[in-house]
Amino acid sequence: MTDLSLPKNFLWGFATASYQIEGAATEGGRGPSIWDTFSSLPGKTANGATGAIACDSYHRTASDVALLKSYNASAYRFSISWSRIIPLGGRNDPINYEGIAYYRALITSLLKEGITPFVTLFHWDLPQELHDRYLGLLHKEEFAKDFERYARVCFESFPEVKNWITFNEPWCSAVLGYNTGLFAPGRCSDRSKSAEGDSTREHLVAGHSLLIAHARAVKLYRREFAGEDGMIGITLNGDWTEPWDPADPKDVEAAERKLEFAISWFADPVYFGRYPESMRKQLGDRLPPDHELEEVKGTNDFYGMNHYTCNYVRHKTTEPEEDDHLGNLETLFENKNGDCIGPETESVWLRPHPEGFRKLLVWLDKRYGHPIIFVTENGTSVKDESKKQTTEERTDDGLRCEYFKTYITAMARAMKEDNVDVRGYLAWSLMDNFEWAEGYTTRFGVTWVDYEDGQKRYPKKSSKVVGETIRALMENSKE
């Protein structure tokens, strides 16, 4: 019997994102997004996959909500496709009421089942037109104004939603979209990959625009919509780090610097109104000026935490490359002794290491002054899962079950032993879906989706494990 517990009102459930599950890319008045364009270009995604059909969730509101209900979830995080609401994206462009009706029906059926919606306004699918008009995230003022208007339309249209997330993982939009070019819109300095782009600075500009747009939407929400119980925040990705050689102060410092380049790049502006010292030192005035971050300070009602993995970090002895986004260091899965951080998964970047989750929760709690935290994503792929043939094999996801048990336990430990204020947990993902550049080869769902057979859904064992683990901890609560 464990001494750990979770409060009775702890919210938990599963997460998804619009482009990864909806499909119906050209239906219901939706305009194209940068992911429609990018995924259609040769060589950008595994097997040329796109989100044109995905899990077909656009046509399956009732069955998706029924699935959540059958898992006993008390919360669901999904994202809104901007170009379904405003097909061209801009502040003077027409609204698509069919898109609003789709999300309204989803929200209504969730609430009817007692499932609390967590709604993300932007999970990477920028309307293509805004990219064509002014290069999207690279134009701070235009982007912030257009995003603010889109946010207003959503706040007005869905007043029942009390938990809003402005941006999902701005690091990914900025770095993968404008520095490495692995994600839409795929800009980078490498001319074999992209005709345009500058990996030494565009991601820093994009990141800055996202922060300003976040701040404007938060202030609008607080001013006109939040009422007594509305909450809004940004969701940041962050992996824990351990020094490659704990006896080398330079590796210890590099491990901390990695956290700052990945997390504090966004969280320091949101909590302190300035960029981290380590980034300013390496990037100088390629990083936009701190004084513009004044309006960003104090714009989180909660910290949205996406967390998956952990790395060993080794400092580099050479000067940083001009396009470096990591903080002049290497990330590894083995330390100096050859210890491995965790077992392999289907994702080259992901190795389970639950202790890192606890440590990162504590680090965030300390650095950002004991914020309310919602874990908005946590989960894993499983090596060779897509090769499984029978339904029995496909639903038997042992590594994922173990992952959820150990990660949820690590979270409960951080709450009990370190007093971290976690209010909710959303597992990634409700179902297998379009895994961006990896297409459909990598699966993160607690539900198997059969893409060859009409997008049929089959609950995997992990779909039960998440709820069982959390509810057992809730039953231990004395509150």
Q: Measuring CA to CA, which residue among 109, 6, 7, 8 is closest to residue 60?
A: 109
Burial 237-268 (b: 16+ CB within 10 A, else e): bbbbbbbbbeeeebbbbbbbbbbbbbbbbbbb
Single-letter residue type at 325: H
> In the structure encoding, which two tokens stand for residue 55, read together?
């899990």
Q: Least distance in Å: CB of 297 to ligand GBH?
A: 25
Give the DSSP H/E element, type plus range, for residue 209.
helix 202-224
Q: Least distance in Å: CB of 461 to ligand GBH?
A: 20
Is the CB of 176 or the CB of 412 nearer to ligand GBH? 176
Is the CB of 17 or the CB of 252 nearer to ligand GBH? 17
Q: Least distance in Å: CB of 5 to ligand GBH?
A: 28
154 and 121 in contact (C-beta within 8 Å)?
A: yes
Is the CB of 14 or the CB of 308 nearer to ligand GBH? 308
The rounded distance, in Å, linking the Cα atoms of 284 and 324 is 13
The rounded distance, in Å, linking the Cα atoms of 352 and 440 is 21
For the chain, how far is it from start to end, CA to CA, in angstroms? 18
Is the CB of 31 or the CB of 177 nearer to ligand GBH? 177
Is the CB of 268 or the CB of 435 nearer to ligand GBH? 435
The rounded distance, in Å, linking the Cα atoms of 358 and 25 is 39
Residues 6+ apart with CB under 8 A from 364: 238, 263, 267, 303, 305, 371, 373, 420
Known catalytic membership, residue 113: no
Residues that bind ligand GBH (CB under 6 A): 17, 20, 168-169, 172, 176, 180, 182, 237, 306, 308, 349, 377, 428, 435, 444
> In the structure encoding, which two tokens stand for residue 190, read together?
């490498």
Q: Measuring CA to CA, which residue among 316, 307, 261, 269 is closest to residue 406?
A: 307
Q: Measuring CA to CA, which residue among 105, 125, 127 is closest to residue 117?
A: 105
Given 129, 142, 169, 242, which residue is catalytic? 169
Known catalytic membership, residue 377: yes
Bond preceding residue 194 cis, omega within 30 of 0? no
Q: Least distance in Å: CB of 303 to ligand GBH?
A: 15
Q: Least distance in Å: CB of 171 to ligand GBH?
A: 7
Bond preceding residue 246 cis, omega within 30 of 0? no
Is the Cα dihedral 275, 239, 168, 229 positive or negative? negative
Given 22, 142, 377, 435, which residue is catalytic? 377
Is the CB of 149 or the CB of 314 nearer to ligand GBH? 314
Is the CB of 272 or the CB of 428 nearer to ligand GBH? 428
Q: Dihedrals φ, ψ of 144, to 5°?
A: -65, -40
Q: Least distance in Å: CB of 93 to ligand GBH?
A: 26
Q: Least distance in Å: CB of 15 to ligand GBH?
A: 8
Q: Indicate the length of the chain as a whole number.
A: 479
Q: Which residues are catalytic?
A: 169, 377
